Amino acid sequence: MPDLFTLWIYLRPFVAALALITFMLISAIFFVWLERKVSARIQDRLGPTRVGGKFGWLQTLADGLKLLVKEDIIPDLADHWLFRAGPYIALCGAYLAFLALPFGNGVVAQNLNIAVFYMLAVMSTEVFGVILGAYGSGSKWALFGGMREAAQVVSYEVPRAISVLVPVIVAGTMNLTDISKQQAGWFLNWYIFHDPFTFLAFWTFFTCGTASCKRAPFDLAEAESELVAGFHTEYSGFRWLIFFMAEYGSMFAISGIAVILFLGGWNLGLIPKGADATDLLGTIAGNVVNVLVFIVKGWVLVFFMMWVRWTLPRLRIDQVMTTCLRYVLPVSCVLLLGVSLWQLAEAEYLWLSYVNWLLAGGSIALVVLLLAKAMTATGLPTPTDLMPGAWPGAHPAAPTIAPRS
């Protein structure tokens, strides 16, 4: 009879896979609720308030149950096998990226030496589910949306991969765990502040990642403002839900890569180098802190994606492609060349290593300025009695107008 250690060796892959898929699905449920609240706040609405108390915590679960019992319709002209397989292929492409994503020091399903390359490769397979679902629907509207989606995603994958190479050159490895360990210590060690090229590479990567996740302003292929919904026009019920689970999973995966490569990974940035949370609090408690720090960082970037979606207008498909081919792609190539020359110059001119102070100080000043602006900004004068339960303090009291005599 095998001992407990041998049994754990066999069960560990299944436990890790179950934990990752559970985290991915629960995060997607949370992101749906968060996006409704974020969009409502930006548009001066309330969002979900009826199901689950004042903040509508259970609204997403109620919608999920509705989709589970909703009738699953397959068009007569659809290829049933491709139509059924498309959503699951898209979900697998998003899920497989989590296998190499380190949530903490040693908290990773599979520690790969080529983790960066692996994650970019498996996330690229999501587009196959989009194409199969669009083609298998037997609808020209869905096929047009699928082709536009494929053109967009494949195009933005090129500058996204080039932007990833910028911090990889600085780190000298593609192992995500090692990259995060190299950024231990104060936040000045984060690669986003390493030099001007890595600073700009973060924003380039995040832009390309937003486009790869089919998020606004790059979501024309599935725009709900059109007469049809793009590649998933013919989907309903559970399979429609799977497509959006894959999208929200990809959002956190892209955010996780950005956190590891540019934002210090699971390191808080407020602890001196050589004494991370694991050393201070013990192995188990320290790893819990590391995991929470990493998840919160990823959620902040997902929140930023939502913020951008409900702030910027949607681009036309020609503008989407022009942004990639004429602007983002050349910029990413310049950044790759620039960081290579910077690495050579930094060894010759030691004063270049202090540029991170300037970048970090400027970023902190900008964040403080934005927070101060957000705290002092007020909306247009609107009578609060027209919206019962409106956000407190969102509007000043409506001016009173004296009647004409």
Supply the DSSP string of 57-120, one letter for each residue.
TTHHHHHHHHHHHS-----TTS-HHHHHHHHHHHHHHHHHGGGG--SBTTB-S---TTHHHHHH
Confidence band for 278, pLDDT divided at 50, 70 and 90 = low
Q: Is the full-model pTM beyond 0.85?
A: yes
Q: Which residue has the higher pLDDT, 284 or 303?
A: 303
Both tokens of 73, joined, read 């319709």
217 upstream amide cis, omega within 30 of 0: yes
- Say how far apart CA 313 and CA 308 lie, in whole Å: 9
Q: What is the mean pLDDT of residues 368-391?
A: 63
Predicted local confidence at residue 354, as pLDDT: 84
- Say how far apart CA 376 and CA 181 lie, in whole Å: 39
Q: What is the mean pLDDT of residues 12-31?
A: 90
Where are the chain's structural domains?
75-367
Q: What is the mean pLDDT of residues 271-279?
A: 70
Type of residue numbered 402: A
Q: What is the mean pLDDT of residues 42-65?
A: 88
User: Is the pLDDT reported for residue 62 higher than 50?
Assistant: yes
Q: Which residue has the higher pLDDT, 284 or 37?
A: 37
Both tokens of 117, joined, read 């390359």
Mean pLDDT of the chain: 86
Predicted local confidence at residue 176, as pLDDT: 95
> Is the separation of the CB atoms in 133 and 82 below 8 Å?
yes
Out of 126-140, 177-191, 231-245, 374-388, least confident range: 374-388
